[in-house]
Amino acid sequence: MIPYLEKRAEHSQTMVYISPFIALGLTLLGGIMLFSLLGKSPAQALYAFFVSPLTSLYGWAELGVKASPLVLIGVALSIGFRAGVWNIGAEGQLTLGAICGGCVALWMYPVDSIFVLPLMMIGGILGGMFWASIPAFLKTRFNANEILTSLMLTYVALLLLSLLVHGPLRDPDGFNFPESRIFHDAASLPIILDGTRLHLGAVFALVAVGGIWLLLSKSLIGFQVKVIGQAPAAGRHAGFSVNRMIWFTLLLGGGMAGLAGMFEVSGPIGQLLPTISPGYGFTAIIVAFVGRLHPVGSLFAGLLIALSYLGGENAQITLNLPIAVTGVFQGMLLFFLLACDVLIRYRIRFKPVSRLRHG
Amino acid sequence: MISRKLNLLTTVTRKMPAMLAALLIAVTGTSVHADGHGMKVGFIYVGPTGDHGWTYRHDIGRQSLESELGVEATFVESVPEGADAERVIRQLATSGHKLIFTTSFGYMNPTNKVAKEFPDVKFEHATGYKRESDNVSTYSARFYEGRAVIGTIAGHMTRTGVVGYIASFPIPEVIRGINSFTLAMRKVNPDAVVRVVWVNTWYDPGKEGDAAKALIDQGADIIAQHTDSPAALQVAEDRGVFAFGQASDMSKFAPNAHLTSIVNNWDPYYIERAKAVMGGTWASVDTWNGIREGMVSFSPYGDAVPADVRAAADAVKEGIASGSIHPFDGPLNNQAGEQVIGSGERLGDGDLLGMNYYVEGVEGDLPG
């Protein structure tokens, strides 16, 4: 007997809403088993992961700091994924945004003007859009697979950043170490909660969630995204341009990723470094899918994944759990979430080997 | 059976102070900082503790703190150098750690930032130069001294006259190591050259192994490295050439190819600094120790190193320890052959800290 997945004719709408909670329950169960096997108290471990990071205002603010880039990029990517445009290179677009935003800051040093930050934001957005326009051009002109081109451009972007901070952008007073000077005050993001690191980027992430939700549900282009994603032939028949959709979704994703990159260097980091992002552009892909490609879903998914990172650090500090356990636990969480989703849409059936062989 | 019981007994006795301290905390509700038991020390690592290189040696130092002083030494591993570092450092500071070691260059600005908010916590940053408040110290080892020793061995042992060098990032620390190695090698063997491959990573066994293969294909018969994994030694072992280990004793990865390893020895420094915090004598300092103080040490020579080469290498070690030899003694030319300093002169620490050029004998262009 061989198990296979059969698509359900109709999936239960109730289950769509219950499934995240089932997944959470299963994760807790799996966590209890994992931590018991390691000889740690499951209650303490789960507390360290999910509760203790949020016992202070500072903890909540850090959650916002960590989740902002994930949400900002995740919501933008989900639009592209809905339209069947697979932009895997948000990490590179983020890096270009950080480079361009950072270059504006360094170029304007030490100008003290309220225009510095807006210019940096524009620089970041344009940088990310430019990087995303390359896969868009290659896709629409030569039909090159955007998964490959956008991914490979990520490595080019990371090397470009490395080249710049090892060379022209190096801090003149920094003993030749590879980092730019620390941005001056006018080029640093304002903190929106005193005593924490929560910055303006969090507000933009929320605005992005609302804006993209409106775009998807109320605008013509949102409608086109949904039609082309679900039924490309119908979309073409209706006269929607697939090429325009590719350009639109890639530029949107690239621009938002670029903005997120600029926020990182201008906010929590405060300078250009050889490494800016711990893989936010890649994690945002997970955020988009865990959020079921829905803007509000992406918001919650971004918060959940951010919390699992904070919890992982916390578990290392308070319980001496190795980082590998954090990885396994995060993996479990994602696995259960996605597995539950699959089982909403599909059911597991078994068929004998012989029937399989004959088709 | 008996031995197991004995073991149990020793474990219990060894843990007695900690248990008593826990009891005391439970009963009185206060913690006992004064005698060290119960003092919490935090470490933040850039890599995994199992890298067999940089982070591994810091973690050995952390463990010696636990076993020697009975303090509780927490670590957080694989923390990216970026926005996350500041949160982790602050989290260590708020969770009762009185002394925090931040063990990578990229933690410099976050360390200084958090230190200003926690004047009662002492911070120790490895390999940086900023001490913006008086609760921050910096420390590093003069690894270039170790590189002069292995450069001497390479000069004696290369047959092809080409030595491969796997380098991480073009920062002064790494460039200084390449130069020190090259100068020592050419003192013994003036025609030998060093070929450098930059891999742009501290730890990536795949890339490091590929770099070693490329260098061997270009004629290198000895591989040195400034990256953290033992991958290059394993390649050298397969290909029948020699190699040096980095940061920790890597002989077990390449029993035939391994000539010696420079071993980073942080244990004494960590113990000294923790004791200073307990005794209330801790002060902000900049430490740059080398062979003399034992912060730079070596694993035993491999069997392939002949007696006369061992003697030559030992002489360099002793000379550096006594101060009669300095790896950057003149005359010293840059890559283009222009004289940097003449005979009888010596580069000072300031010149070494910002070093951004190759010396004569290094092939290829310096990136950046």
* In the predicted structure, residue B270 carries a pLDDT above the cut 80: yes
Q: Residue B113: inside a domain, yes or no?
A: yes
Are residues B184 and B322 part of one domain? yes
> For residue B203, which residues of chain A lie inside 8 Å, CB to CB?
none
CA distance, residue B299 to nearest chain A CA (Å)? 28
Is the pLDDT reported for residue B88 higher than 90? yes
Say how far apart CA A14 and CA B120 lie, in whole Å: 54
| pLDDT > 90 in chain A, percent | 68
Q: Is residue B318 domain-shared with residue B204, that is, in the same domain? A: yes
Question: Does the pLDDT of residue B358 top 70, yes or no?
Answer: yes
Residues B187, B232: one domain? yes
Higher per-residue confidence, A234 vs B306: B306
Q: Is A156 on the interface with B (CB under 8 A)?
A: no
Task: Check if A196 contacts B (Cβ < 8 Å).
Answer: no
Band of the pLDDT at B181, cuts 50, 70, 90? very high
| B199 and B243 assigned to the same domain | yes
Residue B368 lies in a domain: no
Work out the average pLDDT over B231-256. 96
> How close is the nearest chain B Cα to the Cα of A321, in Å?
9
One domain, residues B218 and B333: yes
DSSP state of B334: B
Confidence category of residue B15, pLDDT binned at 50, 70, 90: very low
pLDDT at B14 over 50: no
The domain spans of chain A are 68-296
- Contact call for B169 and A178, based on CB within 8 A: yes
Q: Which residues contact A91 (CB under 8 A, 6 or more apart)?
A: A154, A157, A158, A257, A277, A279, A280, A281, A282
Q: What's the CA gap between A249 and A82, in Å, rounded?
A: 10
Render each residue's pLDDT in chain A as its tens digit; 359 residues: 788 888 888 878 888 788 888 888 998 999 999 999 998 899 999 999 999 999 999 999 999 999 999 999 999 999 999 999 999 999 999 999 999 999 999 999 999 999 999 999 999 999 999 999 999 999 999 999 999 999 999 999 999 999 999 889 999 888 778 899 999 999 999 999 988 999 999 999 999 999 999 999 999 999 999 888 888 888 888 888 889 999 999 999 999 999 999 999 999 999 999 989 999 999 999 999 888 899 999 999 999 999 999 999 999 998 888 888 888 988 898 899 888 888 888 888 887 766 555 54
Contacts of A81 (CB under 8 A, 6+ apart): A229, A288, A289, A293
Q: Both B138 and B194 in a single domain?
A: no
Distance from the B328 Cα atom to the nearest Cα atom in chain A, whole angstroms = 18
Among the partner residues B92, B170, B171, nearest to A317 by beta-carbon distance: B92
Give yes or no for a contact between A176 and B171, defined as CB atoms under 8 angstroms apart: yes
Range of the domain at B17: 2-142+266-289
Q: Phi, psi (5° rounding) for residue B196? A: -110, 135
Query: Which of B76, B109, B170 lies at the smallest CB-CB distance from A313?
Result: B76
What's the pLDDT tens digit per position in B27-40?
A: 333 443 444 568 99
Quickly list DSSP for B216-249. Answer: HHTT-SEEEESSSSSHHHHHHHHHT-EEEEEES-
CATH number of domain containing B19: 3.40.50.2300
* pLDDT over 80 at B6, yes or no: no
Residues B195, B130: one domain? no
User: Quick one: pLDDT at residue B21?
Assistant: 43
Q: How confident is the model at residue B23 (pLDDT cuts 50, 70, 90)?
A: very low
Q: Which of A159, A166, A275 sits opposite B80 (nearest CB)?
A: A275
B6 CB-near residues (< 8 Å, 6+ apart): none
Instruction: Report CB contact under 8 Å: B86, A268.
Output: yes
**Whole-number pLDDT of residue B193:** 97
Across the interface, whether the CB atoms of A313 and B78 are under 8 A apart is answered: no
- The predicted-structure confidence for B122-152, as pLDDT tens digits, reads as follows 999 999 889 999 999 999 999 999 999 999 9
Task: Give me the pLDDT at residue A172, please.
Answer: 86
Rounded to a whole number, what is the distance in Å from the CA of B186 to chain A's nearest CA?
A: 26
For residue A78, what are the CA distances in angstroms to A191, A268, A293, A301, B97? 28, 25, 5, 12, 42
pLDDT band at B77 (very low <50, low <70, confident <90, very high): very high
Per-residue burial over A171-184, b = 16 or more CB atoms within 10 Å of its CB, e = otherwise: beebbbbbbbbbbb
Structure ipTM = 0.86
Of the three residues B234, B255, B289, the one that is the final residue of a domain is: B289
CA dist A74 and A290 (Å) reads: 10
B112 and B130 assigned to the same domain: yes
B105 and B160 share one domain: no
Among A65, A162, A273, beta carbon nearest to B81: A273
The pLDDT of residue A358 is 54
The mean pLDDT of chain B is 89
Pair B209, B234: CB distance under 8 Å = yes
Residues A281-322: pLDDT tens digits?
Answer: 999 999 998 888 999 999 999 999 999 999 999 999 988 888
Residue in B77, B78, B82 nearest the CB of A275: B82
List of chain A residues whose C-beta atoms are within 8 Å of the C-beta of residue B348: none
Whether the CB of A159 is below 8 Å from some CB of chain B: the reply is yes
B172 interaction partners in chain A (CB closer than 8 Å):
175-177
Tell if the CB–CB gap between A268 and B83 is shorter than 8 Å.
yes
Split at pLDDT 50, 70, 90, the class of B12 is very low
Number of domains in chain B: 2
Residue B197 lies in a domain: yes
Asked whether residue B110 falls in the same domain as residue B187, the answer is no
Radius of gyration of chain A (CA): 22
Mutation test of the interface with chain B: which of A269, A280, A305, A325, choosing the one with the most B Cβ atoms within 10 A? A269
Determine, yes or no, domain membership for B212: yes
A175 touches chain B (CB under 8 A): yes
Considering the domain architecture, whether residues B166 and B48 belong to the same structural domain is answered as no
Please list every residue in chain A whose beta carbon sits closer than 8 Å to the beta carbon of residue B95: 317-318
Same domain, B152 and B189: yes
Q: Please tell me whether the overall predicted TM-score, pTM, comes out greater than 0.95 for this model.
A: no
